[in-house]
A and B are shown apart, each in its own frame.
Chain A
Amino acid sequence: MAPTSQVLTKHSSNVRTIILNRPQQLNALTLEMVSQLLELLNAYEEDPSVKLVIMKGEGRAFCAGGDVAALANGSWKQGAVFFSRAYTIDYLVATYAKTQVSLIRGIAMGGGAALAIHGRFRVVTDNTLFAMPETALGSFPDVGSSYYLSRLPGFFGEYVGLTGARLDGAEMLACGLATHFVPLEKLSLLEDALCKANTGDPEIINNIIHDFSNKNPKLKEKSHYFRLKTINSCFSRRTVEEIISALEEEEADRNMDDWISWTIQALKKASPTSLKISLRSIRAGRLQGVRQCLIREYRIFCTILQGKVCKDFFEGCRALLLDKDKNPKWEPSKLELVSKQMVDSYFAPLDDEDWEDLKLPVRPNLTSYAISKL
């Protein structure tokens, strides 16, 4: 166990624990980390002595996502390498043959959230904070999230994906993103118990987590989840424009509703191009398997990195991560200026000789739980 390693592992007879170890950067994923994770996950799956794999983060975050600031600077082809590995991990986790538990303490955003959500047991706690904040950054919810967001109740996934709304542990449990809620003080006890059980039997693992968990964590008074009815009636609309106008109608009907105003603001602050791509991607994801979702998202992200259609991603990284002026200048600046042809081009194969669609490994023993978790 090298002390500088960004990914640590812990062995306890038949249990392996993977620890994301870049606490200063909230465990944001680097190319080195994704390469290492890929190797580990593959090795554990093949190793007959491994029965259970636990994943967690060092420090106050689970994982804040991909280290995108670094990507925005490099060439798009370097970025493509990073994403093809990151997406392969997501696919591996989604179809993992062994029982796998993620302990999600603190922040789990974007690609960091996906590492856990694709897995079988997703344990959240008091300080868990989930978000897919990509649209504010000029990007879109990727890492297979068009698969799991689209499978949340009603149109909650569209809401979470488009606005970047932050969810806490109780909300994640309520909507199905998490399978269990374990109070913070019991989390390390749970980890010990899982190691001690030394089994891969999902039913036993489930019972252990169940024993530690709070079955009814109270949703906070202002929880988004109480708004599901409004979310369903607005975020089910055909286009982003119609979603916003439905929200504005709702706003007009009620006085001073902070939540609606916040939602509209979040949509207005996001990149118009990103919003349109995101909505289309989530809707497409609803009709596809996780594999197709990742392949589509890879096309989209490569097109974004290529920067031929729109450069909002670079502008978003500049404004939010590098210069931190929090004032991105989106181009096109308005939804109505983003044409259908522009959006279409993100969903088509790239016009580049060297580029090819994401090649995911063939998973021969796809069990049914691996196909659908939510």
Chain B
Amino acid sequence: MDRVNFRAKVLTGHLKNHHNSTIDLLHTAQCVNYSPPELCEPPSAFNTKALRKLLDGESMDEIDYIFNLMIQSDLFCPRERGGKVFISPDFNKSMEHQREMTMKRINYLREQGAFDGWLTRKGPDAERSGFTRGITFGVYDHSLGIKLGVHFFLWGGAIQFMGTKRHQDKWLKPTETYEVIGCFAMTELGHGSNVRGIETITRYDASTQEFIITTPCESAQKYWIGGAANHATHAVVFSQLKINGVNQGVHAFIAQIRDANGNICPNVRIADCGHKIGLNGVDNGRIWFDNLRIPRENLLNSVADVSPDGQYSSAIKDPDQRFAAFLAPLLSGRVTIAAGSMNITKIGLAIAVRYSLSRRAFSIRPNEPEVLLLDYPSHQRRLLPLVAKTYALSFASEYLKNIYVNRTRQSIKTVHVVSSALKATSTWHGMRTLQECREACGGQGLKTENHVGHLKSEFDVQLTFEGDNYVLMQQISKALLKEILAAKRRNKPVKGLGLEHLNKPAPIIPSHLTSSALRTAQFQTDIFCLRERDLLHRFETEVSQREARGESMEHIFTVTYQIAEDLGRAFSDRLVLQTFLDVEATVPAGSLKDVLGLLRSMYTTIVMEEDASFLRYGYLSTDNAAVVRKEVLKLCSEVRPHALALVTSFGIPDALLGPIAFNWIDANAWSSVKDNDTIKDNDTVFSFFSNML
């Protein structure tokens, strides 16, 4: 029915939109016309498909297939604006309605087989496909992406990585088919990033061979648990495990929290987290356990187990290492966030850049046409560096996906550090980009249908979940420090994490930088390495001085946060540059390679201009910093002709962008207002067909 109405609406729209003869009389007065950027901009200097292939690689077909599935279903709320169809959730509906729509969309996608093999297929390709799905559904609606992410990556991932065969055999298939709906009960009111501090307690009753889960106090209530408020039937519950009075640390258990009819189980209490600034399509809830009994087999026992008579055993003796092993599922979450952030960023930039290529403001001389927004150097400076950085971070997140799906026991540490770095860097970049895009679109950026503004609140949580960004930055620095100290102790060169450059002499930065020097990969690599090297050295010095003064390590890391953050960023930036160069190396000489070189220079130059550490620690002299600033202006004007092609290569379908990315005049014309009345008449005309569907 909806589909037919919708078609009727579209058709009526065409009939009403144009060539109104009375309006022709007014054409003597100059009106602002919409002119599609495709017609005014120079043809692309490079193959946009080839560039998209560098971003999406082998996943391209799967991504487009998912877009097809979403665009063709009425559940995704297609709407006509200015002659084009857009799909987007109705954010004007109540929280409850949004949640139910998320679930309906999931059911539809499941019926089309979109989740087949997500958890039951094994190997790098299957894992890559899982990422592709999770991330691409999120392009439509972050709530949809998160709701699926919780179910597949967190709940499913916990069973895959923390459970053993008995759990995998029992739970993975029904999870894929949604007979079981999972959630991930880790965070508590009193403890978030500090998972080891959670207060939920689980004891063992050997007489019945059951675990008993208890919420001992209000701060131990599980909080923000996605899926818990309405839909989840099962939870992975993180809890301290007390065996014979000894606390064995945090362990994970499977607990059923609802029956098949959706009734909350006895000894479980669930409450809603309420309306949020975004993500209202996800039912975040709170859970209390009142001595809930679960079978002994429900302990996810990949690293530790409890025997029927209540004896605790673990293959990993070191509680630190055991804890790290427990957190494995969070790793895939970070990979998803890093890559997913880039999608959101691409949406924002595609909309803002397209708008800036069709919207004009102010004439330079009287009676001349107004100037296109993106022809203002200041507007270029606002948007184009963000485009370059999005490419850089997208290449890096592709690299992260690759090292994740091909991880080994040896490489897991690298995955950990790289995922922390990119999760933080990408989400910060995403948030900043959306704000800039919002402002660049002016008032139109405030309309929900134009996405850029609304996406900010949908996206904001990424900076917090799976590890607060600042906490992650400090973790990176700690890991780097550990790495070089271990190498020193063993008296061996540093290896791994891209730190090999530390074994060479420090690079020399020319005292008088030139524009051409700024654009060489050599200089860019040198200065990024120099910054990382120097900051690591400063960090090491400060830590060891404080250690000599007898300060505790915990205390030292809390007071050295400034340099730790600088170092975390330096590591990320150098890593991103390295992956960019690796991608460039795969491209044959030609226009595409040239554009990539331009984007890389834009990325590195903007990092140097914006990060105070280059001046603070003297990697750039004030003279050189002035050269850098000038170069930014030049680079912007050189990237400008490629702007449209660069956002086209992002590969986000038109239907998922906002109306201001296209004919925003027609989208706002009076006739489109009138359409809303005629729709009602058509309901009766077309109701005949609705009976058949």
Residues of A bordering B, CB below 8 Å: 99, 120, 150-151, 153-155, 174, 176, 179, 200-203, 206, 215-216, 219, 225-226, 228-229, 232-233, 236-238, 242, 246, 283-284, 286-287, 289, 362-364, 366-374
Contacts and interface: CB of A to CB of B under 8 A. Distances in A.
A201 B20 CA distance: 7
Contact of A237 (B17, B113, B692): B113
B15 A206 contact: yes
Given A201-B20, A368-B17, 6 more contacts: A215-B685, A237-B112, A242-B113, A286-B68, A369-B17, A370-B83
A258 B228 CA distance: 46
Interface in B7-60: 7, 10-11, 13-21, 36, 39
Given A202-B15, A202-B18, A286-B72, A154 B653 contact: no
Interface of B: 3-4, 7, 10-11, 13-21, 36, 39, 64-65, 67-69, 71-73, 80, 82-85, 111-113, 653-655, 662-663, 666, 685, 688-689, 692-693
Contacts of A364: 39
A287 B653 contact: yes
B71 A286 contact: yes
B19 A372 contact: no
A233 B111 contact: yes
B666 A238 contact: no
Given A225-B692, A369-B83, A374-B10, A155 B72 contact: yes
Nearest to B688: A216
A46 B15 CA distance: 22
A228 B693 contact: yes
A291 to B, nearest CB: 8
A320 B693 CA distance: 36
A176 B72 CA distance: 14
A103 B654 CA distance: 32
Nearest to B113: A237
Q: Is the interface of B mostly helix, strand, loop or mixed?
A: helix
A202 B20 CA distance: 8
A238 B72 contact: no
A238 B65 contact: yes
- Best-buried of A150, A233, A369, A372 by chain B (most CB within 10 Å): A369
A358 B675 CA distance: 37
Nearest to A206: B15
Given A155-B72, A284-B64, A362-B39, A203 B689 contact: no
A236 B69 contact: yes
A372 B85 contact: yes
Contacts of A232: 72
A222 B111 CA distance: 25
A15 to B, nearest CB: 16
A287 B84 contact: no
Given A179-B11, A287-B68, A366 B111 contact: no
Contacts of B685: 215-216
Nearest to A348: B49
B16 A203 contact: yes
B68 A367 contact: no
Contacts of B72: 153-155, 232, 236, 286
A349 to B, nearest CB: 9
A254 to B, nearest CB: 18
Contacts of A154: 3, 72-73
A368 B82 contact: yes
A372 B11 contact: no
Contacts of A238: 65, 113
Contacts of B19: 99, 200-202
A85 B378 CA distance: 45
Given A283-B65, A366-B39, A369-B83, A120 B16 contact: no
Contacts of B13: 369
29 contacts: A154-B3, A154-B73, A176-B7, A179-B11, A201-B20, A203-B16, A203-B20, A215-B685, A216-B685, A225-B692, A226-B692, A229-B693, A233-B112, A283-B64, A284-B64, A287-B64, A287-B71, A367-B666, A368-B82, A368-B84, A368-B663, A369-B14, A369-B83, A371-B84, A371-B663, A372-B10, A372-B80, A372-B83, A372-B85
Contacts of A366: 36, 39
Contacts of A373: 14
Contact of A153 (B7, B21, B64): B7
B86 to A, nearest CB: 11
B15 to A, nearest CB: 5
A219 B691 CA distance: 12
A200 B18 CA distance: 11
Contacts of B68: 150, 236, 283, 286-287
A366 B37 CA distance: 12
A201 B84 contact: no
A369 B18 contact: yes
A236 B70 CA distance: 10
Contacts of B36: 366
Given A287-B653, A372-B84, A176 B11 contact: yes
A368 B83 contact: yes
Given A153-B7, A226-B692, A236-B112, A367 B17 contact: yes
Contacts of A370: 83
Contacts of B111: 233
- Best-buried of B16, B72, B83, B693 by chain A (most CB within 10 Å): B72
- Kindly list the 6 A-B residue pairs having the minimum CB-CB distance in the complex, ordered from nearest: A368-B83, A369-B14, A287-B653, A368-B666, A153-B3, A236-B112
B625 to A, nearest CB: 44
A365 B16 CA distance: 18
A246 to B, nearest CB: 8
Contacts of A206: 15
A198 to B, nearest CB: 13
A223 to B, nearest CB: 8
Nearest to A154: B72
- Best-buried of A153, A206, A237 by chain B (most CB within 10 Å): A153
Contacts of A286: 67-68, 71-72, 653
B320 to A, nearest CB: 44
A174 to B, nearest CB: 6
A125 to B, nearest CB: 18
Nearest to A238: B65
Contacts of B85: 151, 372
A153 B18 CA distance: 25
A97 B382 CA distance: 37
Nearest to A99: B19
A372 B79 CA distance: 13
A362 B662 CA distance: 18
B15 A203 contact: yes
A120 B19 CA distance: 13
Nearest to A210: B15
Contacts of A283: 64-65, 68
Contacts of B73: 154
B254 to A, nearest CB: 32
- Best-buried of B11, B67, B71 by chain A (most CB within 10 Å): B11
Nearest to B2: A153
B21 A201 contact: yes
Contacts of B20: 201, 203
A151 B112 CA distance: 18
- Best-buried of B16, B67, B68, B112 by chain A (most CB within 10 Å): B68
A242 B117 CA distance: 14
B232 to A, nearest CB: 26
Contacts of B18: 202, 367-369
Contacts of A246: 113
A229 B65 CA distance: 19
B458 to A, nearest CB: 23
B79 to A, nearest CB: 12
A120 B16 CA distance: 12
A371 B10 contact: no
Contacts of A367: 17-18, 83, 666
A329 to B, nearest CB: 29
A283 B67 CA distance: 9
